[in-house]
């Protein structure tokens, strides 16, 4: 009986999953056109270098990126200098930023700066409140006269 055979079902399933040309032989000789893997576009101009992208981590707000030029003329990031205490850490673009964020959490100079800013902000707020209260009282007194 037609259709009872398991091989027929496998062929139908193969055609449904991979298309009707799935059983065609694959050319492995170098004389054929290059076909990119997984349907992706080939790199432009034969360049297989990774595409550069911006550093998006918020830790870079507290670090200066340090660059150097390699022998082949490429500029690569190799380090990161803390803007608060000037310590230099590894900052290769292929690495992560976990060590930088841990430093920021424990940087003594950064904490001192933040504490100083907090005190200045509090002092300014107190002065504004006192001046505002004084101005308000003067306005009330002028309104009553």
pLDDT band at 9 (very low <50, low <70, confident <90, very high): low
Domain map of the chain by residue range?
57-128
Q: What is the pLDDT of residues 34-60, one digit of tens each?
A: 444 444 444 444 444 555 667 778 888
Question: How much is the average pLDDT of 5-34?
Answer: 64
Kindly give, in sequence order, each residue whose CB lies less than 8 Å from that of residue 85, ignoring residues fewer than 6 positions away: 107, 108, 109, 110
Contact 10, 22 (CB under 8 A): no
Per-residue pLDDT for 67 more than 80? yes
pLDDT score for 56: 79
Listed as own residue / partner, the contacts of 33-39 with beta carbons closer than 8 Å and 24 or more positions apart are none
Once rounded to an integer, what is the mean pLDDT over residues 94-119? 83
Distance CA 132, CA 48 (A): 64
| pLDDT exceeds 90 at position 81 | yes
With a cut of 50, say whether residue 70 has pLDDT above it: yes
Question: What was the pLDDT predicted at 114?
Answer: 75
């Amino acid at each position: 009986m037609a259709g009872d055979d398991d091989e027929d079902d496998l062929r139908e399933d193969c055609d449904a999953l991979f298309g009707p040309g799935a059983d065609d032989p694959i050319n492995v000789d170098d004389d054929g056109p290059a076909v990119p893997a997984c349907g992706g576009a080939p790199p432009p101009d034969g360049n297989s270098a990774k595409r550069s992208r911006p550093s998006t981590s918020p830790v870079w707000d507290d670090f200066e990126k340090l660059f150097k030029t390699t022998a082949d003329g490429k500029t690569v990031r190799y380090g990161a200098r803390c803007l608060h205490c000037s310590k230099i850490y590894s900052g290769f673009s292929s690495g992560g930023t976990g060590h930088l964020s841990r430093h920021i959490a424990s940087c003594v100079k950064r904490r001192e700066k933040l504490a100083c800013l907090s005190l200045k902000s509090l002092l300014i707020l107190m002065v504004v409140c006192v001046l505002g209260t004084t101005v308000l009282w003067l306005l009330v007194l002028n309104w009553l006269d």
